[in-house]
Structures are given as C-alpha cells and as structure tokens.
Amino acid sequence: MGDERNIFLSTLPATRGDRRVALVVVGVSAVLFAIAVPFAGVPLPPMPAFVASYQSALAINDLITAVLLFSQFAITRSRALLLLASGYLFTAMAAIVHALTFPGLFAPGGLLGAGTQTTVWLYMVWHGVFPLLVLGYALLKATDNDKVRGSAGTAVATSIVAVGAMMAAFTWIVTAQHDRLPILLSGGHYTPVMLGVVSTVWCLSLMALAVLWLRRPHFVLDIWLMVVMSAWLFDIALSAILNVARFDVGFYLGRIYGLCAASFVLTVLLIDNVSLQGKLARLLGTSRREIVSERNLRTERERLFSAVVESSNDAIITKLLDGTISGWNGAAERLFGLTAAEAVGKSINVIVPPDRHAEIGDILERVGRGERIEQYETSRVRKDGRTVDVSLSIAPIRSASGEIIGASKIARDITESRRTEQALSQEMEERRRIFESSNDLILVSDSMGNLIQVSPSVTDILGYQPSEMVGHNAINFIHPDDLEHTRKEMRAGRRGRSKRNFETRYVSKDGKPVTLNWTGNWSEPVRRHFFIGRDLTEKQAAEAQLRHAQKMDAVGQLTGGVAHDFNNILTVITGTIGILEEAVADQPQLAAVAKLIDEAADRGANLTKHLLAFARKQPLQPLEIDVNALVLEAAKLLHPTLGEHIEITPLLAEDAWTALADPNQLTTAVLNLAINARDAMPNGGKLAFETSNVFLDENYAGMHDEVAPGHYVMIAVSDTGSGIPPALLERVFEPFFTTKEVGRGTGLGLSMVFGFVKQSGGHVKIYSEEGHGTSVKIYLPRATGLQQTAAEALVAANIEGGNETVLVVEDDALVRRYVMTQIESLGYTTLEAANASDALRVIDDVPAIDLLFTDVIMPGTMNGRQLVDEALKRRPGLKTLYTSGYTENAIVHHGRLDSGVLLLAKPYRKSELAKMIRLALAS
C-alpha cells in the first residue's frame, strides 16, 4: 500500500484542530472530576441495573472498537494497531466477565463461582492490562518492527485466541482460586492492599499516557487515546481511590468516566468510518462517471479508429498468433483483391507466395516475443495471382492483461516505388559509370567554388587524386592568370546564362600548367556548378607540331627558291671566273682578286647545297649502303679532327640492315652531327656512334605525322655534352639557328641533316637532357622496304601480356600517357608518377607494385638510377625496367647505367615493350 493508508486515524497525522478538541474534552473532564472529588465518598442507593447497563454498554463499545481496529489492521498490518485492538477486545471480555460475576446482578453471589473479591480483582486486572497494551502500542507504532509479514487474518485470529485465553486464565484465578488472593474489599471498604494495587494500576495508566505523549509524531488515534487514558485515570481515581465503598458517588462517576473513555475512540472511529463511507460514495460516483465517460470516449475512439482504418491508403490487417486473419480494411481489399468476407477467418497464407510461407512462421514467432518489425520489404500475391511488392510494419496486439494475442500489420504497396527506385538506381549507376570512366575532367562545385565532386580522370590530367581536391576551393588549382576570367564565367552562369564554354589553365600536381576547354552549367535547384573539362594538351601539341611542320615547310620552300636562284647566279659567276683568271694570269694583283672571287663562289655553292638539302630539293643518288661501313669510315675521318680529348666509340649492330640513301649526303650528315657533339663538349667527353634495326609502329607514327610505320635502320650519334635546353629543342632544325657564338657555325648543319633525312623518306629525332648530353637518331628506310616479312609479322603478333601492376615514372605527360595506354592494353594495371619523389610516395602508399618502369634521365634531385636504388632499399624484391631516349649501348657506354641492366630504348614497338616487361618480371 502507499499513501492511501493515511485515511485511517491510526496513520493520519494529527492537526492542531484535533489537539484543540481533545484538550477541550480533557479540560471539561478534569473540571467535572474536580467538582466530583469532594462528593466521591457520599453513599448512594445500590442500583444493580446501572451496573448491568454500564457493563453491557462498555462491552459493546469496546467490542465494536476492537472490530474497527482489527479491520484497519487488516489493511495497514501495523503490529501496534493489532496490540491496541487486542487491548479493546480484552476490556470487552473483562466487562462481560465482570458483569457475570458481579453480586446481585444475575445471582446473589454472582455467576461462574465468584467470591466476594472476584469483581474487585477483575476490575484491577481489567484496568491494569489495558494500559499495558496501550503502552505496547505507543512503543511499537511507526517503527521498523511495526509491520506483520504473514497473513492478516491469521494474526487477528491469533490475537483473539490469545486474548480469550488470557481472559479465561484471569477468570479462573479470580474465581476458582479466589480464596488464595489477598483481600481488597472488606465490609464494603478498601483494604491497604487495595490501595497498593489500585495505585499501581493508576500509575500504569499514567505511564501509558506519558509514553503516548512522548512518542511522536502524533496520529489522530494517538490524540484520542491520550483522552481515553486521561478519562481512565479519572475513572480509577473516582472508582477505586477517592470513593469509600460501592454505590457511592465516586463509584457511579468512575464508571461513567470509564464508559466515556470507551466511547471516545469508538465515536471518533465511527465518525471516521462515516467519513470514509462518504468518501467512498463520492469516489464510487466519480468512478461511475469516469467509467461512463471512458466508455463513451472508447466508443468514440473506436469509431474514429475504425474510420481511420477504413480510410487509410495502406492495407491494415490484424491476425491471431496462429496466422488467422481477424481484421481486413478497405485498402487491403483494393491491394490484394479479396473482400473482408473472403479474407477474415482464413489463414494469412492466402496472400503469401508458396516460397515465402516459412517467412510467416518467423514473423509470428518474433511478434509473439513482443518484437516490433518495421519496414520489412517482401512480396505478396493478389487474388488474381499477380505479385505485389509490399513494405510491412508489424506490431503485437496485447490484451488488457498485457498478454500478446495477435499481430497488427500495415502493408504498403511499393511496387511502383521499387520500380522507380530501380530506374533511379540504374540511372545513378549509369551516371556514376560515366563520371568514373570519362576521359574528360568532371567537376561539381558550390556557388563559392568549393569542389564537391571530382572525377577520377583528374589523376591522368592533373596528377591529383580526387580526395586531394574535394573540399578545397577551385582557386587553389586554377592558374593565377586565368583566375579572374574563370570567376567571370561562373558569375555569368549564375546570372542565368545556362551553358558556358571557355578555356582555363589549371596547375597540375607537378606544377605544370594544363589548358582545359570547359563546358559549364549552373543548377539553381541544387545550387551547384557542373563543369566538363577537356584536356587540350595533346591537341595543342598536335597543333604546335603542325605549325612547326608548316613553318619548316614554308621556310624550306622559301630557302629552296632562294638557293635555286642564287645557285643560277653562282653558276654564271663560277663559269666566267675561269675566263677572267686566264685573262689576268700575267697580272698578279688581278689574279689574286680573281682567286678570291672563285673561293667566295665555292663557299656560296656549298651554302646553296646546304639550303637545298634543308629544302629537300638537292639532287640525291640513293643507293643500298652498308651503314656500319659508312659509320666506321666517318669515325676514322673524325679521329684527327676531334682531338684526343674526345673518346669515339662505334657501337654497331652486327645484323644491321642495309639502308636506301645517298652515301655522300649521309656521310656529311654524320660528320655534321659529330662536329656539333664536339662543340658541346669543349672539355672533352664521349661520342658514340650506334646502328640498329628498329620498327616504328602505328602508335609511334600516330604521334609523329611525318612517319610511316615500318622497318628502319637507325643511326644514333650520342654525346655527353652540355645538352640542349627544352625551350630550344623545337628550333634546332631551323636554318640559320645556332647556339654557338658568332663566327662558329652557319646554323645550317642540323637543318641540312633534317632536310636530307626527310627527302630520303626517313625520320630524325633529337633527345637531349640539359647537363647530361644529346642523342640524335636518324631513321632511314630499310633497303628492302618498310613492310614486314611474314616471319616478322608472326613474331610481332605473338605478344604476351599479364595482370601485374606497373608503376610508370616519366616526366613528359604526353609520353607518360602514351606508355600507360600501351601497358594497359597488354592487361596490366598501371600507376603513374611524374618524378622520383612522386614515385617513392606511390611505392610507400601502394602495397602491390610488381614492376618499376622508369626513365633514366629525369629533372629534379634524383634520376632514374638513384630512384631504383632507393626503391630497392624499401622493397628489395621490386622488379625494374629502364627506358630512355638514349640507346642502350650509348647510355651504358656513357656510364649512366651498369652493363646488364634492362633498358628499353625509345622509340619502341608494342611487341618490344611486352617482351621487355615479361623479361623484367621474370628476372
């Protein structure tokens, strides 16, 4: 129980009003007691009927009080209250026995074998035991031991039996053992023993009153028990102390006080009981009204609930735990095609596909455990056999006692939404595939230019990973000179110009500017910029190559025309100078002048030959020549010319093919290249002549428009000189262009080589690293033709690829992309780096790298050889393959690589690349 017990007097705290009323009652009793004291011994006529009436009223009062207290105990289980109820039961029994044994009331000497002292001793026992029980109540109330743990009925029965046994024992003592008791009343007057006994009884009552006062807090019952004990004291004082004998004023007044004492608590208890009944009646009335209101509310709620269920667009179904359908709304009829009459009472399996019957058992088992199931997607079947996709939300249905008796299910048709979702998912996947596989750079940014999405193609174009750009502002990557222009385009897009097309340079990870042609769009609903950027590097390179070719062709035509006309003039000069020399032979001074004119004409003739060679208009006499013999002969001529500080090394292929070319012009070309090499090595160095057979494939030809795919004889002249700056490489073949000081060269040496090779149907390629040296390669057509033989075609077709991972390290972005395309076409996975530092970062970050394919000469603090050394320290088992514009023989001879390393000389064909990769991986 809780606070509801405070409605009882035994647990209701006393108020000031309760104390005031009790004090008034005690005060009035005390005043009346004081008035009666002088008359206590005044004899009055005996009235046996008074005693009978008094005893009967007293017994009834105390018995009713005991019953009321026992009933409160049954609720509060207070041990103190049980003791107090037992005290009132004892006084009721004592009053009854006292009346039965009182002389002259029912018999002259009293019933039950009473003696002359029986009623006196019963009075003392009666008035002595009750204060003791009140004292026990006062000591036990509101303590930890105040609660009875067992059955309340058993406790009450035990108390009644105990009180009855105690009363029977006292009755036996004062009747059957009467003669053994001391005499208290003799000749109608009290004996000294009586005075001692009555004083003890009076003191017990006073002690009970005192303990009740001291034991706080005071309950309402405590206050009125103190009133009872006060009246009890007045009763004993008037009936047994101040009076003189039976039937005097004290005798009658004491018993009146005793009856009042018994009536006080009874009256309060009855008033409390009436109050409780009133409260109960009010509570019952309120409860009835609440029940009626709740019933009406429940009825209205059920009506509204039914209306909601019936009007719901979702199917709402209830079922028992065995799967029997108990509820079926209109939406369920529309969804599954079954009417409520057709569905209710049937198993839920009527709408479940056969292959999903096991699913129902699992769902019902989970619901039976009290589990809720939310957004469970599955399929169900309609009456016509069509399957529908549904999303289920299932909850247990509980009875009033909390027991789970069924399940409620909400089924939502998601067939269309799932179809839409699948279409959207497919569209998103298609867009993702486009985004990830696009060769163009795709960027998505917010209105402030912060990058939201970056396509993976950024790695190929700018060298960044997408994660390195996402979250950063685009201004961090745009070339500073193009920043304002880009901002204007973005602002124009936001002002409603839906589609923009412009060019902007971005700065790649290695610091190089990359020009991109952008198509941009602004979406107002999502407030995003969408850009597609096409890398113009290859286009610009091709345009530059075309412009260079056109310029060289235009210069060649101009130079050829001038040289042709000048050659005609020189023909006249050289033809007439001989006549002039003969005419002035006898005049030494004029003869010397004629000789100067003749020498100048010869020099002019040589100049026109160079110009005609560049213009590809010189007369050639192509023959099938042995390039090895020609190179060796040129080397012999160069030994005395170049000096001892230049080390000349022929590195000739034993199986070199014969070439179709003019031997005199080829010799001149080789000598010109050697002279240029000497000038680049003023302090001495190494000069290598090399020959080999090469095949220039379609991929290489695609990068050089003037090259026809096929077999060529390659003649390379390589030096260890100062090299040519990258900015000047495109101009070295222009006529009259030279980096030498004034007076040291005409600037026609390389232009003559260029013209001769082109006129011979060949190709010339210059490869130079500033500070390392230069290699010029002349490709002349094989004498037997460019076409492959059947055997050579069979070898080229037998290309073996793989699935390993290759790290490509190349500083030239165009070449790097070409190499990666070739390697990926062989089935390999590629990673890329523009320099040694980037390569080492990739090696540290990516665990699975099988081959390092690196250029030998690279810009920066670390070349290819040093990169390989550092990489092998980090991964001792890493396979390596070098590549270089220098030939293998030249690069080993110049000391840049050790002999025996694997090097693939540029250019190379796909079959050679495939062969060398497999060879490197197997080494």
Residue 828, domain member (yes or no) = yes
pLDDT band for position 616 (cuts 50, 70, 90): very low
Instruction: Considering only residues 914 and 752, tell me which one the structure prediction assigns the higher pLDDT.
Output: 914
Contacts of 89 (CB under 8 A, 6+ apart): 62, 63, 66, 159, 160, 163
Average confidence score pLDDT of the chain: 77
- The structural domain count of the chain equals 5
Query: 321 near 407, Cβ under 8 Å?
Result: yes
Quick one: 322 and 251 in the same domain? Answer: no
Q: Is 40 helix (H, G, I), strand (E, B) or coil?
A: coil
- Determine the number of helices (DSSP H) and then strands (DSSP E) in the chain: 27, 24
pLDDT for 895 equals 47
Q: Beta strands of 782-833 (E only): which ranges?
A: 805-809, 829-833
**Which residue from 233, 252, 230 is spatially nearest to 243, judged by alpha carbons?**
252
Q: Is 141 helix (H, G, I), strand (E, B) or coil?
A: coil
Quick one: 324 and 274 in the same domain? Answer: no
pLDDT for 798 equals 65
Quick one: 129 and 203 in the same domain? Answer: yes
Residue ending a domain, among 384, 419, 454, is 419
Quick one: 485 and 576 in the same domain? Answer: no
Q: How far is CA 698 from the centre of its chain?
A: 51
pLDDT for 606 equals 60
Quick one: 545 and 531 in the same domain? Answer: no
pLDDT band for position 807 (cuts 50, 70, 90): very high
Task: Please give the radius of gyration of the chain, using alpha carbons only, rounded to the nearest integer.
Answer: 63
Quick one: 447 and 594 in the same domain? Answer: no
How far apart (Å, rounded) are the C-alpha atoms in residues 374 and 393? Answer: 4
pLDDT for 161 equals 92
Phi-psi region of 627 (alpha: psi -120 to 50; beta: other; left: phi over 0): alpha
**Whole domain around residue 242: which residue ranges?**
47-279
How far apart (Å, rounded) are the C-alpha atoms in residues 118 and 109? Answer: 10
pLDDT for 914 equals 87
How far apart (Å, rounded) are the C-alpha atoms in residues 44 and 47? Answer: 9
pLDDT band for position 575 (cuts 50, 70, 90): low
Query: 693 near 711, Cβ under 8 Å?
Result: yes
Q: What is the largest CA-CA distance in the chain?
A: 212
How far apart (Å, rounded) are the C-alpha atoms in residues 774 and 680? Answer: 9
pLDDT band for position 573 (cuts 50, 70, 90): low
CATH number at residue 484: 3.30.450.20
Quick one: 67 and 134 in the same domain? Answer: yes
Give start and end residues of each alpha helix (H) in 370-465: 415-437, 458-462
Residue 697, domain member (yes or no) = no
Quick one: 196 and 249 in the same domain? Answer: yes
pLDDT for 852 equals 92
Percent of the chain with pLDDT over 70: 75
pLDDT for 742 equals 47
Quick one: 124 and 255 in the same domain? Answer: yes
Q: How far is CA 488 from the centre of its chain?
A: 39
DSSP 887-919: -HHHHHHTTSS-TT--EEESS--HHHHHHHHHH
HSE, CB side, 13 Å, CA atoms: give it for residue 509: 20
CATH number at residue 178: 1.20.1070
CA dihedral (442, 444, 445, 449) in degrees, to 10, reads 10
pLDDT for 663 equals 82
Predicted structure pTM score: 0.37
The token pair at 792 is: 């050579």
Query: 487 near 508, Cβ under 8 Å?
Result: no
Quick one: 272 and 152 in the same domain? Answer: yes
Strands 528-535 and 441-445: antiparallel
Terminal-residue alpha carbon distance, the chain: 91
Q: Is the pLDDT of residue 806 over 90?
A: yes
Q: Please name the helix (run of DSSP H) or strand (run of DSSP E) that holds residue 388, with its range, or none.
A: strand 387-398
pLDDT for 41 equals 58
Q: Is the pLDDT of residue 617 over 50?
A: no
The full length of the chain comes to 923
Quick one: 816 and 913 in the same domain? Answer: yes
CATH number at residue 835: 3.40.50.2300
Give the residue-averaged pLDDT of 577-581: 67
pLDDT band for position 496 (cuts 50, 70, 90): low
CA distances from 713 to 136, 629, 655, 717 (A): 131, 13, 11, 13
Question: What does the pLDDT look like over 278-305, one tens digit per residue?
Answer: 666 677 777 778 888 888 887 777 777 7
Residue ending a domain, among 565, 586, 614, is 614
Quick one: 512 and 551 in the same domain? Answer: no
**Which residue from 599, 612, 616, 620 is spatially nearest to 565, judged by alpha carbons?**
612
Q: Is 199 helix (H, G, I), strand (E, B) or coil?
A: helix
